[in-house]
């Protein structure tokens, strides 16, 4: 396990990729191995938040609506901001044209699909960029 962490860290340190430039697009069914510092968009996060908010709602639509509004009020601005950011992230992934997950995106320009190890994907992108200056 320690060797994997060290290997991943070495790959990041040796690559010219700045951590702030790495974006990962995935969902809860496609786990990733983070390298640290990358931004992660989970495409199913909005649905998971909504499912959590909907848990235990009664069948009566009027009562269910009242309970949902109460839950949203109790969650305050923090919950509303969390929901809004989750949807903005999904829109950003769509805007980038992501077609498969997991996807590791560097500089909003280079992408590796299907590689769950973020450090390895970032190193592959860096090698590609170095070969084509």
Q: Which pLDDT belongs to residue 20?
A: 54
Indicate whether 12 pLDDT > 60: no
Give CA–CA dist 43/22, Å, rounded: 16
Query: pLDDT tens, 124-133?
Result: 999 998 998 7
The residue ranges of every structural domain in the chain are 22-131
pLDDT tens, residue by residue, 65-108 = 999 899 888 888 898 999 999 999 999 999 999 999 999 999 99
The lowest-confidence range among 40-44, 58-62, 129-133 is: 129-133
Note the helical H segments in the chain.
2-14, 45-54, 61-96, 118-131
Whether residue 13 is predicted with pLDDT greater than 80 in this model: the reply is no
Q: What is the pTM assigned to this prediction?
A: 0.79
pLDDT for position 76: 80
């Amino acid at each position: 396990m320690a060797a994997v962490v060290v290997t991943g860290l070495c790959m990041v340190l040796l690559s010219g990729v700045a951590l702030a430039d790495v974006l990962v697009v995935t969902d809860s069914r496609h786990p990733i191995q983070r390298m640290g510092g990358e931004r992660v968009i989970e495409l199913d996060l909005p649905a998971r938040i909504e499912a959590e908010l909907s848990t235990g709602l009664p069948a009566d639509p009027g009562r269910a609506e009242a309970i949902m509004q109460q839950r949203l009020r109790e969650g305050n601005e923090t919950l509303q901001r969390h929901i809004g950011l989750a949807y903005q992230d999904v829109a950003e992934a769509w805007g980038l044209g992501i077609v498969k997950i997991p996807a590791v995106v560097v500089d909003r320009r280079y992408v590796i699909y299907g590689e769950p190890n973020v450090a390895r994907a970032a190193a592959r992108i860096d090698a590609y960029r170095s070969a084509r200056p």
